[in-house]
Structures are given as structure tokens and as C-alpha cells.
Chains A and B, each alone.
Chain A
Amino acid sequence: MIKAILIFNNHGKPRLSKFYEHYSEDTEQQIIRETFHLVSKRDENVCNFLEGGMLIGGSDYKLIYRHYATLYFVFCVDSSESELGILDLIQVFVETLDKCFENVCELDLIFHVDKVHNILAEMVMGGMVLETNMNEIIMQVDAQNKMEKSETFIFQSTRQDR
């Protein structure tokens, strides 16, 4: 199970937070801060797994993260997930974002956090991995976006009618 997925930048500013277990807003912020603290002090060329993290965690949990340019992608998972598998999943996630936003950068995530959530929802659901195939994910995301567009089109056209 995945307990939480966090994206924050090099300064610890959250860009996306998805908790699959309920925490209060304050605790969530604390977790983000603590995770950032743990992750950011690690060198570039050390392993991507991290034990500890008092708030989120416990002995069965691990933080698995990747650092891309200005962003950290952190997954908090328990022992039922394959460590390398999750690393691959993060890669798939980032590649999917790259495809959906066309050369994704931090700004895309800042301004379109809802879209990032929608993409993530096609990959991970309720803490469990739903889909790992990038094409399938993109297909579903596109289909939903298309639906959204058609709705706004109807909306606009009805408005024009009036």
C-alpha cells in the first residue's frame, strides 16, 4: 500500500500532496516539512530509499523518492510494495506528466495541480497501484479531458444561444 504521495520543490513548498490515510491539515504540513527535511539533506548520489520519518512511517514504511530538477517526488509505502517497482512508478508518473503537459516543469504543477491529481488518480487509487502502463493512463486522461472540453463547449454554445 502507498500511504502518501508528495511532491515538493527544493525549498519544501508543496506542489502536490495526496494522503491515503487521514491526517489533520496541520499534521499533513508537518509531514511534508519533515519529509522535506529528511530528503533534502541527502546527497544526489545516494540511494532513493529512506527509513525513518517519525510522523509518517513506523518500521514497516519506507520513503521512496526521486529528485528531478527542482522537484522531489516522494512516495511513502509499506513493505508490500516493491521498492524498485515504486521507483519505476515514479518514473512513469513523471513521464506521463511530461507527455500530458508537454515538457513538464514546476510551473505546470504549480498552476494545474488539479490536472496532476487527475493524472495521479489514473495511476494510484486509494493507495493501491491502479495502472502502470503509460499509454493506458494517457488514453484515459485524454478521454476525460475531451469530455470536459465537450461540456464547456456545450456550455458556451448554449450561452451564445441566449
Chain B
Amino acid sequence: MALKIVKGSIDRMFDKNLQDLVRGIRNHKEDEAKYISTCIDEIKQELKQDNIAVKANAVCKLTYLQMLGYDVSWAAFNIVEVMSSSKFTYKRIGYLAASQCFHESTDVIMLTTNQIRKDLSSPNQYDTGVALTGLSCFVTPDLARDLANDIMTLMSHTKPYIRKKAVLIMYKVFLKYPESLRPAFPRLKEKLEDPDPGVQSAAVNVICELARRNPKNYLSLAPLFFKLMTSSTNNWVLIKIIKLFGALTPLEPRLGKKLIEPLTNLIHSTSAMSLLYECVNTVIAVLISLSSGMPNHSASIQLCVQKLRILIEDSDQNLKYLGLLAMSKILKTHPKSVQSHKDLILQCLDDKDESIRLRALDLLYGMVSKKNLMEIVKKLMLHVDKAEGTTYRDELLTKIIDICSQSNYQYITNFEWYISILVELTRLEGTRHGHLIASQMLDVAIRVKAIRAFAVAQMATLLDNAHLLTGNMQRNGICEVSYAAAWICGEFSEHLENPMQTLEAMLRPKVATLPGHIQAVYVQNAAKLFATVLKSQEGNTDSTAAQETSQLMIERLPLFVQSANLEVQERASCILQLVKYIQKLQQKDVEVAEEVSALFAGELNPVAPKAQKKVPVPEGLDLDAWINEPPSESESEDEQPKAIFTKEETKHSRPRHIEVDEKELARRREARKQEQANNPFYIKASPSSQKVYQDTPGVEHIPVVQIDLSVPLKVPGLPMSDQYVKLEEERRQKERAEKKKKEKKKRKEKRSGRGKKHDSGPESEEDITPAHMVDIVTEEMPENALPSDDDDKDPNDPHKALDIDLDKPLADSEKLPVRSHRAVEAAKSPGEDGDAETVATQQPKKKSGKDKRDDKKKDKDKERKKSKDEKKKKKHKHEEKEEDLLRGEVHEPVVQSEGISQVAELPTSTSAEVSDLDFWLSNAPVPSNTQEAATVAAAEAPVAEVVSGAAQDSEPDEPKDTEMEETKSSKHKKKKQKKEKEEKEKKKKKRHHHHHRHSDGGGEESVQNGTVEEEEPLPSMSNYCLLAENSYIKMVYDIQGNLQDGSQVVVSVIFENKCDSFLKSMEFNVLDSLNSKLQRPEGSGPHDGLTVPFQLPPGVSNEARFVFTVQSIVMPQKLKGTLTFIVKNEESSTHEKLDFKLHFTCTSYLITTPCYSDAYAKLLESGDLKGSSLKLEGVNMPFHHLLARICFHHHFSVVERIDSCSSMYSRSIQGHHVCLLVKSSGQTVSIDAKCDEPTMLGNVLDEIKQTFSQC
């Protein structure tokens, strides 16, 4: 064996390592692939060896090759081997390789579960860290389910390094295993207030990521985040929180109101651009969510716009980009405030940076008005001409269409202009957006009736000149336009000037090169045109013209009959036969025009795009039900013929070269020139030009009508749409002039010089009247269509599964699967087994058999524990209080929840949560001064050191103590941890007591820190005060803060049996307030009482502790509650109840924390604390008694004492520093106090006053 190792390590010296491999690849530039393939062969050899070092080296090289694009999945098993090495060095290599190339379908992943679990619980934090990092990249649903519980345990690891990684990876676990979200959430929430900023940041990160997708479930966290926002100094955290608020505000406008002020303060105070930018962004989101009507609404908008303008004007392109990005958000709701910066934005359109130009384009969308639309589009058209890249040009094209068509063509005053723009856009080569232009053409022509004549004329020209576009039409997608053109010409053929010419254009052989669906439209509309032509020709005496038309159809249609496209073929042959029949009739001199046009009678109405979807399903109709028997399997073979056809189609539709007649071209050129001359927009219509028009060859037989036909293609000089701009200007000026005239008249009549507002200044939107009175036909929707917005949701979004109500209490079935030992199984009885099975079947069915077994085990385990608990309770009946005292703590309500989570889910129903939020949003005091909090500087650092020192101090590592207990309970790891925590708590408590004892008892040396020096014995003091009392029972209580958890306080209640009966079934219940809640075990309702875990024989007293969660600790609070119990003696048992009021003073949130004088001085110097003072008159006690009282009752510690002057310090569970300077002169005691939370300080001082007024 030893020899083998030696041999292995010698081998290793000759192996290539990663560096050698890289060097080798660099030296083999010419035959890199060959070199690498030999390397891979070597690696394969290396992987076959037993030596793990060799294997790790090989895997390391593979990781590199993977980056170069080589598939290394064949080595997956070797990677797992290296991962499971006990050496960190190799383990790290293995996990790195795994994270680079494992994914959900890697089958060896399932082999890793146990290895990863082992690594996660490794004593070496870096083993755990590496495993977490790796897992974050390749976690699968199976791994997530199996390891969720282990990872959740790590969230409370002693090392922040592990905690933060565990917290982060939970997000991935949630994604893969959504069931874990609810059980894990309470702990995740706890981590928001972790003492370590890294962990806190990770928790914020995860919750923000969750909340971004399903914001409504996280609304109840808003107060907590608000507190973090006002207290955190970490810009990363702040940015995340502020972004989160941006997602939350749309759901709760009141939240926005609350946010505006602190955010504005941040905007003013921060120097970090990233933070400033996010603040502006969220303020914008707030403003969007708020309906107008807030007083300083416009001020905030102005602030944002102004800040953004600064960004946009900055020379840093990044800021410019972001400024524009944020500006576009404001635009949606407050276009006016952005419009004033039009100059700046148009300037950005000329920026050399494409990203910036694109952003500026976005902004244009909201900046158009009836007045400036033409101008802006003209500018964009210039850009279209200049643009070199197709992406940017396509973007321009879509933007032009977007801004013109927005809100139902609201800003278009002249549709002729718009049609011309669309026609101009068809000149773009290589654009992908032909269909976009086409659909716009169709939409406008269908919905704006007044424009049809013009549109038809334009489309006819387009069709006529289609061959000019067709050069590379196939390829560039612009050919879609001819689809629209053909359809418009056909459908509205009554408006055509020269239907014959258009018909000819539609039947040109070159049409056959167009895509099938367009050809089909051509054929169909040729038929429509044919009908129109017939109608116009039959009026004439000469019937030959009509017959010629039929002949033309019969000659041209066979081309389409041969088409490979079914649709084209079918339509063409139908129509061909029809025309042949018509021809026959014509030869018999039968008038057919009426009947033929009847084929295409009636008008097509526009239908809304989603109309079909919204047709309600009639009652009793099941669309999913089979109409016939389900078809047999062989159905799929039917697909094949189709494939053959499409193949053929591609073969046939190869472009054919058909020469365009030179004469024809010349003729058309001539015609165009003359038409131009005729265009009323070029020259005001004159009779002479009409004459010229008449002379055009081929059009003599058409009655001459004044038309506004224009040729958009290849127009020399200005593009024609510009004509409209000028025209529009003129028209508006004229209108204005007329209006002015009218007004002058009016004014003359009135003779009251009341104001000249109409004379000067830009005209308002309303003044601009559209050139045509257009009625835009709205799209049709089916009757009683259901309005629904959920059309756009993607059913495949993984985040959909995470849309889970987090406020509901946890159900038993939701607990995470926990590994448990097989030994447990032997202990249960058959009856229990059955029960367990039924529970197990309730579990989600998709789980595999193996998991079911796990679940069953889990449930059995639970079952077993329950019975054990019951047994214990029975025991209590017989045993005396010694046992009770021992177990009292274990039975604390939190612990009773024997589930997984150490801290039970907050026992709140959704409604309670919501009302809590309501309270917070409406009138609750803002937890802290925002301005100040935002600027809290590094000056706090020294204090933080002291604090963290103290915190560490309170986390003793005590694994051994639990061992004894462990044997009692199952070998549940969780439980063990719970106990550990318990232990800690006990310790902490002991420590507190220790302090108190100091102050109570011995008068020894003066202690500078922590306690008061004793000068003479102090009167005995107790912190327990009366809660309630009646003839049966007396309750006294004390409240202690929980240093580890800033939102928890522990209420210790001593129950004393005063009567001679047995008291049992005591149930302690408190009416939760908005701010404070009793923690109830998982699964119980928000109004359920907690069973006091002991019974009281006559004369006996016992203590129980209850955990409360509090949110804001700055105000004292009273909670009403009731204790119900059964009084039992030999004869009878009666139900009794006792009401009480729990008083949470601010003092009870303070924790005695030692503080050294230098740290204390620094704290005071930092200037972060707000001062307040208090004078006590007529205090009749020695100074040291006074101090002892403050220390004892109010949880302070003495920092320094000089004669009758002393400085004291305490800290709240949420980290507020409270400093007192107590001076005594005679009977007057003055207390100067400082705290970073003024409200809290005021309350503490009041309470101190109270204490001294009582004695």
C-alpha cells in the first residue's frame, strides 16, 4: 500500500499540471485541437489511477478544457470522486469542476447527496463553504429537497462566513424545491437582522430576489425593510432594499407616501451615484403608484428630473445612459416634466454611442404631441437614412411606428402623411420589420375610413412599382408590405383610379416569387379587382373590354395554379374556373358583373387581437373533452405528407428571372413624371395639369377625377412626407390666424382687455385640429367578453411556484424532510404505523418511492415524539415540582413546536399581518430619524467593535452539554441545536442574574464596569412585578430582551397557586397587538392560547417563559391577555379565568451591556446621539442606591462613577445605544441622556421617573 502511494507520487511528478497544459496549448497554436486530444487521452489515463492527487490534477485540467469548449461530462464520476476527497485542496478542485459542468440532467449528481451533506456539516468552515458554493451552481430539485434542512441549519451557524453562504443558497433551494420556502422563511427573515453585515446583506439579497417576482407576499415585510433602510450604511444593502421598495410600492400606495421623505433625503445626502440613481428610480416608482394629489408631488418629480438631467449631461457615458433609462420611467406618468428636456434628449439621439441612442429613442415615445409628431418623425427619418447598422435602423423603424400608432393614433393629425411615411419606410433594405409596416397599413386603411381613397391610391402605386422592391424582397422581409398593398387594393377596389392597371400589376409573373401567403392574397384580391373591373366595364357599350379582362385572368392564373403552396393553388384554381365560367357567360352576352361582385360584398370589420381568446365558453361546453373516441397512436404518420410539400415549396419558389419590358418601364417613368406634376401637394391643382394627365397612354378611357395621387418612390429632392410637414404648418398657421381673427372680433365686441393668452405662446394641444375629420373605428370585441389581464403570464416561469402565502402558519405536512435514524422505526406500535401512513399519503404524490419512505419515517418520528410528550405529561401528574422545574424551560412554547425550525413561524394570520401593516403605514412613528440614519458614518465603528465583542461573548460554544439530553430525545440534529440555543439562553439569563446578584448582594471592591460599587447593603429588589391576581392564582412577571434576536423579548411569568385545589390545564393567551405578538407553536392559530407546561398543586409556584416578537421597540406597550385554568378538587372542577395586562416598557427592551469608558467617550463624541434630560426632585436615597435602582430596574450598567456623578450605558435589543449621565445634588437628581432613538429615550426617561416616583 505504502509502495503504491510512493509510486503514485513519483508518477505525479511526471504528470502535466494545469500550467503545463496551458503552456502546451500555447506552444501548439497550429495543431491545438490535436494537442488537446492527446492531452485528454493522458487525462483519461490519469483518471484511471488510484492516487487521488493524480485524479485531482486531471480534473483540474479538465475544468480548463471545459472553458475552452470541450465536453467533459464523461468525467463526471471522477469529479465526484475528487469532490469526496478528505483533503480540502482536492475537494475544492472537485467542487469547482462540478460547478462548471454539472447540471440537472447529470446523473451522477444523485451520488453526491451524502457527500455534500457530510461536507456541509464538516467542522472545517471552508469545507462547508466550498460545498455550498459548488452546490449553488448545480443544485437540483432532488438535492434541494434532501439538503434543504441541512442548509437551513447552517443559516444559524456560528461563523458568519457560513451563515451568509447558507442564506444565499436558500434562494436556489427555493427555486428548485418551492415547498421549502414556507418552513424556511421565518429563519430567513431573522437573518435580516443578523449582527454580521454580510449575512444581513445576503438575506436582503435573497428576499429582494423573491419579492421581485411575487411582491404581494412580501408586503408585510415593508416595516422591517423600512427600518433597515433607515439604519443600514451598506450601500449594497440599501440599493437592494430601495429596489425592493420600488417593486412593492405599486401594490401599496401608502407605502410610497411613507418612503418619499427618506428617499428624498437620501437623494440629497448621498454621494454614491449608484445609490442616488436607485433612489431616484424608486421615487419614480412611488410617484407612479401614487395617484396625483399629494402636495409635494410635483416637487419630487422636479427633483428627480433635475437630478436625471444632471446625469444625462454628465460626461460619463454610463451616467448618461442611466439617466435616460430612468427618464423613460418618469415619462410614462409625467410626460410633461420630461417634455421640457426635449432638447437634451434629441441631442442624445446624435450620440455616437448606440446604447445611448437607443435609450433616447425610448424617450421620444412619450414626448410626441400632435404638434411635434411630424417634426420628430422627420428627424427620425433622417436618422434612418444615416444609420449604418441594421439593428439600430430596425429599432428606429419600430420606434417610428410605435410613436405614431400609440394610443390609437392619438397624435396623428394627418393620416395621408402617415401613409406616406409608411410607404417611405418600405424603401428600407434588409429590415426585419416588413410585417410591422404591413400591419400598420392594413390597420390604418381599415380603421380610418376617410383615408381609404388615399391609401388605395398609394398602395396601387406600390403594387405597380413592387418589382422595384422585389430585387431582394424574398430575403429582406419588406415584401410583407405587398401583402398589405394587395389586400387594401382588392378590398377597397371601389376607390381605385385604374383598377385594370392594378389588376395587371397583381398578376405579373414575378408575383410568383413572393412567399406563399402573399401570393394567396394576391390571387384572392385579383378576383376582387376583377369583379370591380367587370362592373365598371359592363356599363360601357363595348363588351370586348370586359372579355379582355377575363382573358387576362385566364392567361395569368395558371401560373398560380401550379404553385407549390396549397393555399395559392386552391384559390387560383377556384378562381380560374370561376373566370372561365364567367367568360362563357360573357360570350353569350349575359350580364354577370352584379353577381360576381356579390361574391365580395359586405365590409370586413376590424377585430381586436385578443377577441377570440375572450369569447366566453358557453355553459356546458367542455373544450377538452373528446368529441370522438381518442385516436390511435399511429396518428403521427399523417404529418409526413406536409413535410414533403414544404420541401417542394422551397424548391419551386426560387426566384425566376423575368425581364421587365424596357418599353413598359419607360412608359411608367413617363406616367410617374406626369402624375407628380398632377400631385396637388406639389403644385396647387391647375386645369392644365389635368390635361396632361389625360394624355397619358393607357389611361384615356378612365374618367378624370381630381386625385391626390403621389409617387413615393424615387422622388427627386425632398422625400414627400416632408411636404406634409410644410403643409401642416401652413394649415395650422391659417387656422390660428382664423382663430385669432375670431377672437379679435369677440374681443372687440366685448371690449374687455382681459388677457392676451391666446395671442402669444405656443398653441396648446387642443388647438390643433386634425386635417381630416377621421373616425377611427375601434376594434370589435365579442359581446360579454371577460376583461382579464392575465393573458401575458408565462406559465413556465419558475418563480410562479414561489408565489406562496408566507403569512399563513405552517402546517405539519409542510415541514422539511429530515433525515432520521432507522432505529426509531422499531419503537412504534402498529396503530401508529397506520396513522403515519395516512399522513404520508397526504404528501405530494410526485415524490419518488424512496422519499415517501423518508417522509413516512419523519411522520412516524413525529408521532413517536408526540406520544412521548404525552407520556411526559402523564408523568408530571404524578411527579412533583422538582421535575417541573427541570423541564420547565424545555417546555417553553417555542420548544413545544417540535418541528424543524428553531423559532416558530410568527403566529399571525394574514389578516392580522395586513392590519399590522396598515397600522404601520398609517400613523406609527417612524422608527428612526432617517436623515441621520442615512448619514451614519464610520464613526460608529469603535462602538460596533465593543458591541460585537459582547455579542460573541454571548455565543458560547457548548456542544457537550447537550449530549446527555440528546439521549433522551431522538437523535434529531435539529433538536440538538434547539437545545443548544436553549442552553445559550439559559447561560445568558444566568449572566444577567449574575449581574443582579452583584448589585443585590456583596459589597466588595468597586467595579468600574458592569455593576455598581457597593457602599452599604442595598434594599432587596425584585424585577418581578404583579401581573394579575385572584383568589386562586397570582402571576408576577419580568420581561427580558433577547440579545440574539432584535425582535424578541422573553416574558417570564411565575404562577403561584394560592388556593388548596389543584390547578391544571392552564392556558395563557394574549391578544396580539399590531406591534407585539406572542409566539405560538407552528400550526396553531393566531388566537390560540399557549398551554402552560405544568400544573400547580396547592401552594406551589412555577415559572414559565413566553417569547414575544416585537417590531418597534421605541414605544412602551400594553397587551391584554387572559389566563384560563381548571380548578380541581375532590368534589368538583371549575373553569376559571383571569384577565391581565402585560406592560412592555421600553426598559424591558434594554439589555445590560458593559461598556468601557473609552468606547463610551467615542460614542458620545460621534455626535450620532440625540440628547434629552430629566430632573428628579425629592429623591431620598443614597447615590449608590439610586444607581443600583437604575441598573437593576432599567438594565443599565455603570461605566464610570466619580463622586455623585456617574455615567451609565445600556443597549436595546435592536442595538440602540442609551447613555446616561446621572448627577445628584442634595435631593435633586438630574439625568442627562443620549440615545440614537429620541422617542425611545423619552420613554425610558419617563419610566425612570416612574420608578423613582414610586418610592
Residue positions of A touching B, CB distance < 8 A: 1, 14, 16-18, 20, 22, 25-26, 28-29, 42-43, 45-52, 80, 82-85, 87-88, 110-114, 117-118, 121, 125-133, 136, 140, 143-144, 147-148, 151-152, 155, 159, 162
Contact = CB atoms under 8 A, between A and B. Distances in A.
A147 B126 contact: yes
A50 B358 CA distance: 10
B88 A151 contact: yes
Contacts of B488: none
Contacts of A152: 89
B317 A46 contact: yes
B69 A144 contact: no
A80 B171 contact: no
B60 A114 contact: yes
Contacts of A52: 391
B322 A45 contact: no
Contact of B168 (A111, A126, A140): A126
Interface centre among A25, A45, A82, by most chain B C-beta atoms within 10 angstroms, is: A82
B1168 interface: no
Contacts of B208: 80
Contacts of B68: 14
A20 B137 contact: yes
A126 B169 contact: yes
Interface stretch (B348-356, B573-581, B743-751): B348-356
A161 B353 CA distance: 66
A36 to B, nearest CB: 13
Given A47-B317, A82-B274, A114-B96, A144 B88 contact: yes
B318 A48 contact: yes
Nearest to A83: B322
B677 interface: no
B320 A22 contact: no
B636 interface: no
Contact of A88 (B172, B198, B274): B274
B236 A128 contact: no
A144 B70 contact: no
A80 B881 CA distance: 57
Given A25-B71, A47-B317, A132 B89 contact: no
A144 B126 contact: yes
A133 B235 CA distance: 11
B66 A130 contact: no
Interface in B724-780: none
20 contacts: A29-B69, A42-B353, A43-B353, A51-B355, A82-B278, A112-B18, A114-B60, A114-B63, A117-B96, A125-B132, A125-B168, A125-B169, A126-B139, A132-B201, A140-B161, A144-B88, A144-B126, A147-B124, A147-B126, A151-B88
Contacts of A151: 87-89
Interface in B67-102: 67-71, 87-89, 92-93, 96, 100
B88 A162 contact: no
B1091 interface: no
Contacts of A16: 67
Given A82-B274, A126-B136, 16 more contacts: A14-B67, A14-B68, A22-B103, A46-B317, A48-B318, A80-B243, A82-B277, A83-B277, A83-B318, A85-B235, A110-B22, A111-B22, A114-B96, A126-B169, A131-B164, A159-B9
Contacts of A85: 235-236, 239, 274
A152 B921 CA distance: 59
Contacts of B5: 162
B104 A26 contact: no
B273 interface: yes
A113 B67 contact: yes
A47 B325 CA distance: 13
A143 B358 CA distance: 47
The 3 A-B residue pairs with the shortest CB-CB distance, nearest first, are A126-B136, A84-B274, A22-B103
A152 to B, nearest CB: 7
B274 A47 contact: no
Contacts of B100: 18
B209 interface: yes
A151 B88 CA distance: 8
Contact of B198 (A14, A128, A136): A136
A143 to B, nearest CB: 7
B1191 interface: no
Nearest to B71: A25
Contacts of A1: 209
A69 B440 CA distance: 48
B243 A82 contact: yes
A25 B100 CA distance: 10
Contact of B104 (A22, A113, A159): A22
B322 A25 contact: no
A98 to B, nearest CB: 20
A131 B353 CA distance: 32
A126 B172 contact: yes
Nearest to B101: A25
A47 B356 contact: yes
Main secondary structure of the interface of B (DSSP, over half): helix
Interface string B156-173: 000001001100110110
Nearest to A130: B168
A130 B201 CA distance: 8
A118 B96 contact: yes
Given A49-B355, A113-B67, A118-B96, A82 B168 contact: no
A47 B88 contact: no
Interface centre among B18, B133, B239, B391, by most chain A C-beta atoms within 10 angstroms, is: B133
Interface in B810-839: none
Contact of A49 (B70, B161, B169, B318): B318
Nearest to B125: A143
A25 B391 CA distance: 28
Contacts of A84: 273-274, 277, 318, 322
A49 B321 contact: yes
B89 A51 contact: no
Contacts of A82: 239, 243, 274, 277-278
A125 B88 contact: no
Nearest to B273: A84
A66 B202 CA distance: 25
Nearest to B3: A162
A24 B1033 CA distance: 72
A114 B356 CA distance: 37
A46 B352 contact: yes
Contact of B317 (A45, A131, A159): A45
Given A46-B317, A129-B205, A130-B168, A113 B136 contact: no
Contacts of A88: 274
A30 to B, nearest CB: 9
Contacts of A126: 133, 136-137, 139, 168-169, 171-172
B88 to A, nearest CB: 5
A52 B152 CA distance: 38
B278 A118 contact: no
Nearest to A143: B126
Nearest to B321: A47
B1116 to A, nearest CB: 38
A121 B2 contact: no
B64 interface: yes
Contacts of B130: 121
B355 A47 contact: yes
B202 A130 contact: yes
Contacts of B124: 147
A133 B164 CA distance: 14
A1 B137 CA distance: 13
B198 A159 contact: no
Given A25-B66, A28-B69, A130-B202, A125 B243 contact: no
Interface string B235-277: 1100100010000000000000000000000000000011001
A100 B22 CA distance: 20
Contacts of A18: 100
Interface in B187-214: 198, 201-202, 205-206, 208-209, 212
B6 interface: yes
Contacts of A48: 317-318
